[in-house]
Amino acid sequence: MSERKVLLDVEDLKVYFDIKNNHSWPWSKPVTLKAVDGVSVRLYEGETLGVVGESGCGKSTFARAIIGLVGARAGKVLWLGNDLTKANSKALHETRKDIQMIFQDPLASLNPRMTIGEIIAEPLKTFHPNFSKQEVKDKVRSMMMRVGLLPNVINRYPHEFSGGQCQRIGIARALILEPKMVICDEPVSALDVSIQAQVVNLLKEVQKEMGLSLIFIAHDLSVVKHISDRVLVMYLGNAMETGTSDELFSHPTHPYTKALMTAVPIPDPDLERAKKIDLLEGELPSPINPPSGCVFRTRCPIATEECAKTKPHLEGDSHQVACTRISI
């Protein structure tokens, strides 16, 4: 793993939002929502990093901060050694050729006033204005065929397609520039199970062909296991555990990871009935007022009073865990 080229190196990334309380006095200070609170991770060339966690744990904000759609309060986002958090608009514009994004809602991410041919061609017109109309059209048709869309539908509009087809359009738009990395923000959560498998398999195929690196965000751990080389587990804006997909799914270590893993259904009915489910007690705390020390301690079955005093950080080599009660 260490011999492979590092494309992305995120160091202690923090994304905070200042929230103004409408019921407070006009001169009251806004409260701070810690959406991402010091996450560090690396992404290697040709690798898929899965990011999992409950709704509201900061997965999508983490992805948007990497690509620059939301600003970082602190930390670094190093792309091929260059810090994107300090880059000017021109440098960011050039970087966007290499970093693309696929969004969760396939239909909402497409402009309803544009044909799918225009949607897929838009990045080419932005970054390669010298291409002729025929060159653009040929590249769009070729990419449509690659993602499983017939070229004869090039002049149709997004509302004429199913959810799975709209997501294929979004994938084609993201791949048309031949980027180095694609961030997939829950790209299959709005799709039927059978369509989910088709989209995931498509992503794996084009990744192998184009040498892509992927950041794949999802709730469904079975999907993450199928596509990911490494997995990052997040909770309330913090990294709880990270490691290879095989390590995490065969030997989950952090109590939160164990709870997530037991929630994955087993296809065998007898094994499914016999398995022990580690249910998490209580509700997810507010990121505006997170617990002191370890943010997971209020729901953790092994927490002690000491957990309220010290915030744990990821420790270990290839398999890292953020827990003062556990050593690897």
- 3-state secondary structure (DSSP) of residue 65: helix
**1 assigned to some structural domain:** no
Same structural domain, 166 and 239: no
**121 assigned to some structural domain:** yes
pLDDT at site 277: 67
Same structural domain, 185 and 292: yes
Same structural domain, 94 and 162: no
Identity of the residue numbered 231: V
Q: Locate 159 and state its tokens.
A: 């509302």
Distances (CA, A) of 113 to 108, 122, 163, 302: 12, 13, 17, 54
pTM for the complete prediction?
0.90
**327 assigned to some structural domain:** no
Same structural domain, 125 and 210: no
Alpha helices in the chain (DSSP H): 59-67, 89-95, 116-127, 133-146, 163-175, 193-210, 221-227, 245-250, 255-262, 269-274
pLDDT at site 1: 45
Q: 């709730």: which residue's tokens? A: 219
Same structural domain, 187 and 81: yes
Picking from 178, 195, 228, the residue at the C-terminal end of a domain is 178
Same structural domain, 205 and 314: yes
**328 assigned to some structural domain:** no
Domain that includes residue 200, residue range:
6-98+180-321
Same structural domain, 94 and 111: no
Same structural domain, 170 and 267: no
> Around Cβ 326, how many Cβ atoms within 10 Å?
15
pLDDT at site 24: 64
Same structural domain, 87 and 210: yes
Question: What is the rounded CA–CA span in Å between residue 81 and residue 79?
Answer: 5
**CATH code, 72:** 3.40.50.300
Same structural domain, 58 and 198: yes
Burial class (CB in 10 A: 0-12, 13-18, 19+), 29: exposed
pLDDT at site 282: 78
**326 assigned to some structural domain:** no
Distances (CA, A) of 25 to 19, 22, 28, 29, 289: 13, 8, 5, 9, 19
**23 assigned to some structural domain:** yes
Average pLDDT, consecutive stretches of 10 residues, N- to C-terminus, the chain (328 residues): 82 92 72 93 95 91 93 94 91 91 90 96 94 95 95 95 93 96 91 87 94 92 90 96 93 92 72 68 86 93 91 91 87
Picking from 178, 212, 229, the residue at the C-terminal end of a domain is 178
Q: How many domains does the chain have?
A: 2
Is residue 14 within 8 Å of residue 75, measured between CB atoms?
Answer: yes
Question: What is the rounded CA–CA span in Å between residue 202 and residue 200?
Answer: 5
Q: Within 13 Å of residue 263, how many CA atoms lie on the same side as its CB?
A: 14
pLDDT at site 89: 87
Same structural domain, 77 and 141: no
**227 assigned to some structural domain:** yes
**34 assigned to some structural domain:** yes
Same structural domain, 167 and 273: no
pLDDT at site 323: 94
DSSP one-letter code for 219: S
Question: What is the rounded CA–CA span in Å between residue 175 and residue 143?
Answer: 8
Picking from 126, 159, 178, the residue at the C-terminal end of a domain is 178
Helix, strand, coil percentages in the chain from 3-state DSSP, rounded to 5: 35, 20, 45
